[in-house]
A and B are shown apart, each in its own frame.
Chain A
Amino acid sequence: MSPIAYPTSWRRPPQIIRDRRWRIAVQLGILVYLALAVSTVEVNWARVYEGLDRGWNFVLGFLRPDFTSRWTDIAKGLTESLTMTLTSTVVGVAISLPIGIGAARNLAPRPVYYLCRGIIAVSRALQEVIVAIFLVAMFGFGPFAGFLTLSFATIGFLSKLLAEDIEDIDAGQVEAIRATGASWAQVVNYAVQPQVMPRLIGLSLYRLDINFRESAVIGIVGAGGIGATLNTAIDRYEYDSAGAILLIIIAIVMVAEYGSSHLRKYLQ
């Protein structure tokens, strides 16, 4: 009965690159590339020093925000932004539903699947600001271009996540409803919808606050809303008004954030 001499040490075998030499070569390569990349970044320290002053003025504007002198502009921008946010989210979600269902591999036939995935890829590839510049050129300055931009961006975001959620549902429930002789639409309504609804509502609320934040960004390129007001304030060096606008944006985003997370928790 001599005990078998089991080893007392064990090391996790390498998972990705098995060969030791290759592993070292790849790690060295990454380090060299990083060093080269950092060395090519040019920093004009003199310019940075000058800029500090302007940056400080900006910070001071924050500390002494001026809500009153440009209040009518701010109020107009805010209303525009909020309107843009809400309408674009509603329209975006409405369009995302069929596209999201079409982009779910387990529900849609192949051609529809590829078409919907294509739409999603296009919508996601084009960044909001780029779309906004294009649409402003097409429809002129103002919130309509912003509304279209945000609706377009919502489609890519929501359809993709909805499709992925649909692909993850419990297939057993779908099978059971299908076995009763239900039509495709009935299967979607009875077996798919109940499974994805809480997440769909959560995602829509999340998109609502993304759209508000984005509305501030695309306003800078002319798509109306609070972003346009902010841009004007900065252009006029009215950092105190700009500070006020930024504070309002932060406050609204925080309210939306807490509100939606609370609502999502309630819906689960």
Chain B
Amino acid sequence: MLRIEHLSKTYRTGDTALSDVSLEVPKGQILGLIGPSGAGKSTLIRCINRLVEPSAGAVWLGDVNLVTLGKAELRRQRRRIGMIFQEYALVERLTVMENVLSGRLGYVSFWRSFTRRFPPQDIQRAFALLDRVGLLDHADKRADALSGGQRQRVGIARALAQDPELLLVDEPTASLDPKTSRQIMRLLTEICAERGLPAIVNIHDVPLAQQFMQRIVGLRAGRIVFDGPPEALTHEVLTRIYGEEDWNAMKRGDEEQARAEAEARERMEALAQ
């Protein structure tokens, strides 16, 4: 589905963010990208839809090489790639509905989008997506009136409105509390499973990655230093990715989060009764 070949990125400042990264993501796979700050996670996913221009290498989405595309064709191909952001990146002063419909911008003419007259099936789809993420009642609210978790769900609906073949997810839970984080991750993984969508998820929270990801790729200083199932993330591997750390302290944090998770589960069960 997605094949990244020998991708490199050197910024104009001379900083090398990625060097020779090759990666393949099959259909339906949810891949977690972990690594310390500055390892190149954000750069990597932004090189895929070319919000950041790669310096060398190829990115194949199906049988299209995204790196060599011209401007107009790049816009057409971007429609196939949905993106979800760390700080939600909703347009705060627009309504929830406009934010979701903005996922259709690549499909409609300027005048249609300017006058907010989207095709009926787009509007129907937008309502269906808002229903799916549980925000049907909030369609007419302004995006800045929502809570963090709700905003991220609008972000998910916007990405899905594109009818994408691939999701790029940049630190989806970094601005959320632990419980909301888990709800968002669960929603994301469910939606990917429903649609057979592959996703690349940048995530700095290792326990969360282990819990929700099918595959983990560890990035350090712009190179892939680990690629395997979450179970294979041992102390030794984490040290290779993040360098020496007090992993026991982190483990205590894990237990704390496991308790939060258990509590959340109990509550959900209580609600179900």
Instruction: Point out residues on A near B: beta carbons under 8 Å.
Output: 170, 172-173, 175-183, 185-186, 189-191, 194-195, 197-198
Contact = CB atoms under 8 A, between A and B. Distances in A.
Main secondary structure of the interface of A (DSSP, over half): helix
Given A177-B91, A189-B113, A197-B93, A182 B105 contact: yes
Given A177-B105, A189-B113, A190-B102, A182 B75 contact: yes
B9 interface: no
A180 B79 contact: yes
Nearest to A177: B102
Contacts of B158: 176, 180
A185 B109 CA distance: 10
Query: Which of B105, B106, B155 is most buried by chain A, counting CB atoms within 10 A of its CB?
Result: B105
B102 A182 contact: yes
Contact of B49 (A179, A185, A190, A195): A179
Given A179-B83, A181-B162, A194 B93 contact: yes
Interface string B83-98: 1010101111110001
Contacts of B93: 194-195, 197-198
B119 to A, nearest CB: 15
B105 A181 contact: yes
Interface string B44-82: 000001010000000000000000000000011111010
B94 A189 contact: no
A107 B76 CA distance: 20
A181 B168 CA distance: 14
Given A183-B110, A186-B105, A186-B110, A178 B51 contact: yes
Contact of A183 (B75, B89, B98, B103): B75
A173 B91 contact: yes
Contacts of A175: 51, 85, 89
Count class of interface residues, chain B: 20 to 34
A176 B105 contact: no
Contacts of A173: 89-92
24 contacts: A172-B89, A173-B89, A173-B90, A173-B91, A176-B89, A179-B78, A179-B83, A179-B168, A180-B78, A180-B104, A180-B162, A181-B77, A181-B105, A181-B162, A182-B102, A182-B106, A182-B113, A189-B113, A189-B114, A190-B94, A190-B98, A190-B113, A195-B92, A197-B93
B52 to A, nearest CB: 10
A190 B105 contact: yes
A180 B105 contact: yes
Contacts of B107: 181
B113 A179 contact: no
Contacts of A176: 83, 85, 89-91, 155, 158
Contacts of A186: 105, 110, 113
Nearest to A179: B83
Given A176-B83, A179-B51, A181-B107, 12 more contacts: A172-B87, A175-B89, A176-B155, A180-B83, A180-B105, A182-B105, A182-B106, A185-B110, A186-B110, A186-B113, A194-B94, A197-B93
B106 A181 contact: yes
Q: Which of B81, B89, B106, B168 has the most CB of A within 10 A?
A: B89
A175 B104 CA distance: 15
A170 B75 CA distance: 21
Contact of A194 (B75, B91, B113): B91
Nearest to B101: A190
Contacts of B162: 180-181
- Per CB-CB distance, the 9 closest pairs between chain A and chain B, nearest first, are A181-B106, A176-B89, A182-B105, A181-B78, A194-B93, A181-B79, A172-B89, A179-B83, A181-B75
